């Protein structure tokens, strides 16, 4: 009995020397000032954490004399949206696709006027490219090559990742765009056929674009359709991969929204200031530094020589906006005709 | 069957079956358990011990480990006390519905942990059945308390499962002797029943703790996965892997692997030590 008591006291003693429950790292003692919680889709981590948060905190401190700090959570865009819909304590969300913002609006978390901000609420953009292993051993030069037999493709999961949906639209839309350039009419059956064949070569569907990239880096698969910046980051870090630029591809557009639902009056001015800051020249140039493309000033983009040139670029407007793209292409073509077959 | 039994021979001298069966055992364990564990150590330390150490002492990593241990500790305390109480009641009293309660306690074992997390969210979340009636400053979900709740749920049957069989098979004669000697029910429990259960209690506690520290599926749903606030060690590993920081993920994974090694060694040796009083 004594031994039991002893061991129990011992366990308690060990725990007492740590904490009962560790308090939040961001200092609830007020030393860190207002704490802004940002939920972002996977690839937003670097520009936000490395450049934009510290720069805004310094700016706010200089102008108002008080501190601002940030806490973050990053995952696939659909995952982040679901978390917020379930009540996760976000102040701001940066998402991969507008459809997720629409879901937040429907769920009452975001106000309907989010498009009133500069760039119609879109904070930055980037084209979709193909990432292959160095030397391009499988000779992949455009989307149709991904449909070739023996090519193993990593593709994020469209149910959790916004980047995955952009990728589907890039592959499908590229065929529409090319057929339109060649014959003047969009060849929908051909585009469906291509997406079908490409999907057949998918060997793994990770939860987010970043997770898909990690899979490719760990050695799986031959290719990945992803954001240009992922490719630029990898080649810049000297990793054995190279970027293949498709002839026609989509420019993804990433909305940033304020989660009005849970904002306290003390917090609101700071969060509002941060939202405005995202479209400032300083923040837009920071995005460009981290390989995103600016939406406010094309001169920033021209200053970055690493950005690839796309022969036939297109946007979500090719499909008539997300209101049409999701039901027509993601649901109508991908989910109904391809995924379930 | 009986024909087989008659065919068994007793071997004299060198028994070839013994080394053979031991090597078969190890050969089976190697690809299934041992090599995957080894690869964590290999990858975790592949960039040298300095970078391993730096990954480990990163404030967010330390926080994640602390949070995991603390939330698991409270879940363990609750489940051991509850398990002891439930095992005592269910083994000492026969009543209508007793078996139904035993089955209900065991249900969390078979429920996918993601379902457990989602269930908690639907109940206690800000828009959940009960959670919507909580004032905003008393919300449980997306705080460390939500992690404790999730840990309690997924490890619910473990301590009970270890204590119950011991209590059921325990000879009642000591308890009866104690009672006839005039001890109160509480004295009998404290001086007679409890001491013979300490092996089971410590075993159940460690099992609960170890399982809770490794919990992932439910925590990711109820915690919000905020780095430095509600991110436990398994969530940290997951996030770092997603971000492509495989070394950082592996450093914490190594700690968790070593931790479970220690827990189960303690479990193995403490049993003998506690029972040989």
Q: Does B126 touch chain A (CB under 8 A)?
A: yes
pLDDT given at position B9: 56
Q: How many residues does chain B have?
A: 277
Mapped onto helix, strand or coil, the DSSP state of residue B38 is helix
Q: Residue A242's beta-bridge partner residues?
A: A132
Interface mutation vs chain A, best among B201, B226, B262, most A CBs within 10 Å: B226
Does B85 lie in the same domain as B22?
no
- At residue A30 the predicted structure's pLDDT band, cuts being 50, 70 and 90, is low
With respect to residue B1, please indicate whether it lies within any of the assigned structural domains: no
Band of residue A118 on the pLDDT scale cut at 50, 70, 90: confident
Neighbouring-strand partners of residue A69: A35
B113 and B15 in a single domain? The answer is no
Within-domain flag for B84: yes
**Is the Cβ pair A26, B229 closer than 8 Å?**
yes
DSSP reduced 3-state for A36: strand
Q: What is d(CA A231, CA A62) in angstroms, rounded to the nearest whole number?
A: 36
**What CATH number did the domain enclosing B140 receive?**
1.10.3720.10
With a cut of 50, say whether residue B3 has pLDDT above it. Answer: no
- Nearest CB partner across the interface for A24, out of B201, B229, B239: B229
Residue predicted with more confidence, A57 or A266: A57
CA separation for the pair B229, B242 (Å, rounded): 19
Q: Does B73 touch chain A (CB under 8 A)?
A: yes
* Tokens matching residue A20: 């009962």
Q: Which of A1, A45, A89 comes nearest B195 by C-beta? A: A1
State the smallest CA–CA distance between residue A98 and chain B in angstroms.
22
pLDDT tens track for A167-212: 999 999 999 999 999 988 899 999 999 999 999 999 999 988 999 9
Q: Is the CB of residue A337 less than 8 Å from the CB of residue A196? A: yes
Say yes or no: A215 contacts chain B, CB-CB below 8 A: no
pLDDT of residue A31: 66
Are the Cβ atoms of B241 and A211 closer than 8 angstroms?
yes
Interchain CB distance below 8 Å, B125 and A7: no
> Which DSSP state fits A130?
E
Position B75 in a domain: yes
Residues A29 and A264: beta-carbon distance below 8 Å: no
DSSP state of A24: P
> Are residues B107 and B230 both part of a single domain?
yes
Would an 8 Å CB–CB cutoff place B275 in contact with chain A? no
Return the closest-CA partner of residue A256 out of A271, A246, A266, A270: A271
Calculate how close chain B gets to A318, using CA atoms only, in Å: 32
d(CA A300, CA A289) in angstroms, rounded, equals 9
Q: Answer whether B139 sits within 8 Å of A19, measured CB to CB.
A: no
Distance in Å, alpha carbon of B261 to nearest chain A alpha carbon: 17
In this predicted structure, which of A27-41, B74-88, B227-241 has the lowest mean pLDDT?
A27-41
Same domain for B161 and B270: yes
Tell if the CB–CB gap between A214 and B273 is shorter than 8 Å: no
Enter the pTM of the model: 0.83
Q: How far is CA B167 from CA B85, B95, B124, B126, B190, in A?
A: 11, 17, 34, 41, 14
CB A143 within 8 A of CB A174: yes
Please, what is the end-to-end C-alpha distance for chain A in angstroms? 64
Contacts of residue A19, Cβ cutoff 8 Å, sequence gap at least 6: B66, B70
Q: Choose the closest CB to B229 out of A25, A87, A207.
A: A25
Nearest to A267 by CA among A68, A121, A108, A101: A68
- Most B CBs within 10 Å: which of A9, A20, A24, A109, as the mutation test of the B interface? A24
User: Of A253 and B274, which is predicted with more confidence?
Assistant: A253
CB B141 within 8 A of CB B124: yes
Contact by Cβ (8 Å): A132, A140 = yes
How far does the CA of residue A288 sit from the closest CA of chain B (Å)? 20
B120 plus B251 within the same structural domain: yes
Q: In angstroms, what CA-CA distances link B175 with A129, B90, B187, B190, B199?
A: 75, 16, 10, 11, 18
> 10 Å Cβ neighbour count for A313?
14
How far A258 CA sits from the closest chain B CA (Å)? 17
The helix/strand/coil state of A230 is: helix
On whether both B32 and B75 belong to a single domain, the answer is no
**Count of the separate structural domains present in chain B:** 2
Instruction: For residue A11, name the pLDDT band (cuts at 50, 70, 90).
Output: low
B96 found inside a domain: yes
Does residue B232 sit in the same domain as residue B139?
Answer: yes
Do residues B21 and B79 share a domain? Answer: no
Question: Cβ separation of A211 and B273 shorter than 8 Å?
Answer: no
Query: Could you tell me if B152 and B36 lie in one domain?
Result: no
Based on the fold, state whether residues B116 and B186 are members of the same structural domain.
yes
Q: What is the mean pLDDT of residues A124-138?
A: 96
Does residue A227 contact residue A163 with C-beta atoms inside 8 Å? yes
A209 close to A95: Cβ distance less than 8 angstroms: no
Best of B143, B225, B230 to mutate (most A CBs within 10 Å, chain A): B225
Residues B31 and B66 occupy one common structural domain = no
Beta bridge partners of A254: A124
Which of B73, B201, B228 comes nearest A4 by C-beta? B201
A116 touches chain B (CB under 8 A): no
* Cβ-based contacts of A217 with chain B (< 8 Å): 244
Evaluate whether residue B228 is within a structural domain: yes
A4 with B274: Cβ contact below 8 A: yes
Q: Tell me, yes or no, whether B68 and B93 share the same domain.
A: yes
Question: So where are chain A's domains?
Answer: 19-124+253-299, 126-252+306-339
Range of the domain at B66: 57-275
Tell me how far apart the alpha carbons of residues A25 and A32 are, in angstroms, rounded to a whole number: 10
Is any Cβ of chain B less than 8 angstroms from the Cβ of A207? yes
Q: Which two tokens stand for residue A74?
A: 């990053």
Alpha carbon separation from B215 to A6, A180, B50, B111 (Å, rounded): 28, 52, 28, 13
- Please report, for residues A308, A321, A338, the alpha-carbon distance to residue A335 in angstroms, rounded to integers and kept in the order given: 31, 18, 6
ipTM above 0.85, yes or no: no
φ, ψ dihedrals at A292, nearest 5°? -80, 160
Between positions 252 and 271 of A, the ones with CB within 8 A of B are: 262
Q: What CA–CA distance (Å, rounded) separates B227 from B56?
A: 15
What pLDDT was estimated at residue A341?
64
| Burial of residue B53, with CB atoms counted within 10 A of its CB: 0-12 exposed, 13-18 middle, 19 or more buried | exposed
For residue A272, what pLDDT is reported? Answer: 95
Q: Determine the distance in angstroms separating the CA of A70 from the nearest CA of chain B, rounded to an integer.
A: 10
Return the closest-CA partner of residue A54 out of A30, A72, A77: A72
Chain B residues whose beta carbon lies within 8 Å of the beta carbon of residue A22:
63, 66-67, 70, 144
Q: Which of B167, B201, B242, B223 is nearest to B79 (CA)?
A: B201
Q: In this complex, is the C-beta atom of A86 within 8 Å of any C-beta atom belonging to chain B?
A: yes
3-state secondary structure of B136: helix
Contacts of A83 in chain B (CB under 8 A): 224-225
In this structure, what token pair is assigned to residue A186? 């969009």
Measuring CA to CA, which residue among A279, A308, A311 is closest to residue A294?
A279
Structure confidence by residue, pLDDT tens digits, B115-165: 999 999 999 988 889 999 998 888 899 999 999 999 999 999 999 999 999
A19-124+253-299: in CATH 3.40.50.970 = no
Q: Which fold has domain A126-252+306-339?
A: D-Maltodextrin-Binding Protein; domain 2 (3.40.190)
Residue A99: name the closest of A168, A45, A52 by CA.
A168
Whether pLDDT at B85 is above 70: yes
Closest residue of B to A262, CA-based?
B136
- Which A-chain residues 55-74 have CB contacts (< 8 A) with chain B? 71-74
Sign of CA dihedral A261, A265, A269, A270: negative
């Amino acid at each position: 009995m004594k031994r039991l008591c002893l061991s129990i006291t011992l366990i308690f003693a060990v725990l007492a020397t740590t904490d009962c429950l560790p308090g939040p790292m961001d200092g609830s003692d007020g030393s860190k000032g207002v704490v802004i919680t940002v939920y972002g889709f996977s690839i937003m981590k670097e520009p936000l954490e490395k450049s934009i948060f510290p720069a805004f905190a310094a700016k706010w401190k200089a102008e108002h004399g008080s501190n601002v700090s940030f806490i973050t959570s990053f995952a696939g865009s659909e995952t982040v949206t679901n978390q917020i819909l379930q009540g996760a304590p976000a102040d701001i969300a940066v998402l991969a696709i507008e459809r997720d913002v629409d879901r937040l609006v429907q769920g009452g978390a975001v106000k309907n006027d989010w498009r009133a901000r500069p760039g119609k609420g879109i904070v930055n953009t980037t084209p979709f490219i193909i990432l292959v292993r160095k030397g391009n051993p499988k000779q992949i030069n455009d989307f149709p090559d991904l449909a070739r037999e023996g090519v193993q493709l990593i593709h994020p999961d469209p149910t959790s990742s916004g980047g995955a949906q952009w990728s589907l639209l890039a592959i499908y839309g590229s065929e529409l765009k090319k057929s339109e350039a060649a014959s003047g009419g969009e060849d929908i059956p051909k585009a469906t056929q291509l997406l079908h064949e490409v999907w057949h070569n998918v060997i793994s569907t990770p939860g987010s674009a970043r997770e898909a990239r990690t899979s490719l880096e760990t050695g799986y698969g031959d290719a990945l359709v992803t954001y240009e910046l992922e490719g630029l980051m990898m080649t810049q870090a000297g990793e054995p991969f190279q970027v293949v630029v498709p002839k026609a591809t989509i420019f993804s557009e990433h909305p940033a929204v304020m989660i009005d639902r849970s904002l306290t009056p003390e917090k609101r001015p700071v969060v509002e200031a941060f939202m405005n800051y995202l479209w400032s020249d300083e923040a837009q140039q920071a995005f460009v530094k981290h390989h995103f493309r600016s939406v406010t000033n094309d001169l920033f983009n021209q200053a970055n020589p690493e950005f690839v040139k796309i022969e036939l670029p297109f946007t979500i407007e090719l499909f008539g906006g997300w209101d049409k793209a999701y039901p027509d292409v993601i649901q109508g073509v991908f989910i109904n005709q391809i995924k379930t077959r | 069957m009986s024909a087989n039994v008659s065919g068994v021979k007793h071997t004299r001298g060198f028994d070839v079956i013994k080394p053979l069966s031991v090597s078969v055992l190890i050969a089976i364990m190697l690809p299934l358990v041992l090599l995957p564990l080894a690869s964590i150590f290999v990858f975790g330390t592949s960039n040298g011990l300095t970078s391993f150490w730096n990954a480990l002492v990163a404030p967010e990593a330390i926080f994640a480990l602390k949070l995991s241990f603390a939330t698991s500790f409270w879940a363990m305390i609750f489940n051991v006390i509850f398990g002891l109480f439930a095992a005592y009641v269910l083994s000492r009293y026969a009543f209508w519905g007793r078996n139904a309660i035993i089955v209900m306690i065991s249900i969390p074992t078979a429920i996918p942990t993601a379902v457990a997390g989602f269930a908690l969210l639907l109940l206690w979340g800000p828009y959940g059945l009960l959670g919507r009636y909580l004032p905003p400053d008393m919300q449980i979900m997306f705080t460390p308390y939500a992690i404790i709740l999730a840990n309690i749920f997924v490890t619910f049957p473990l301590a009970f499962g270890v204590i119950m069989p011991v209590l059921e098979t325990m000879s009642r004669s000591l308890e009866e002797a104690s009672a006839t000697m005039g001890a109160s029910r509480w004295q009998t429990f404290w001086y007679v029943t409890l001491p013979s259960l300490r092996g089971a209690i410590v075993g159940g506690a460690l099992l609960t703790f170890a399982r809770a520290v490794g919990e992932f599926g439910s925590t990711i749903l109820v915690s919000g996965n905020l780095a430095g606030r509600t991110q436990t060690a398994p969530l940290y590993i997951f996030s770092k892997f997603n971000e492509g920081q495989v070394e950082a993920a592996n450093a914490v994974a190594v700690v968790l692997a070593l931790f479970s090694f220690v827990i189960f060694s303690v479990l193995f040796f403490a049993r003998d030590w506690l029972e040989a009083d």
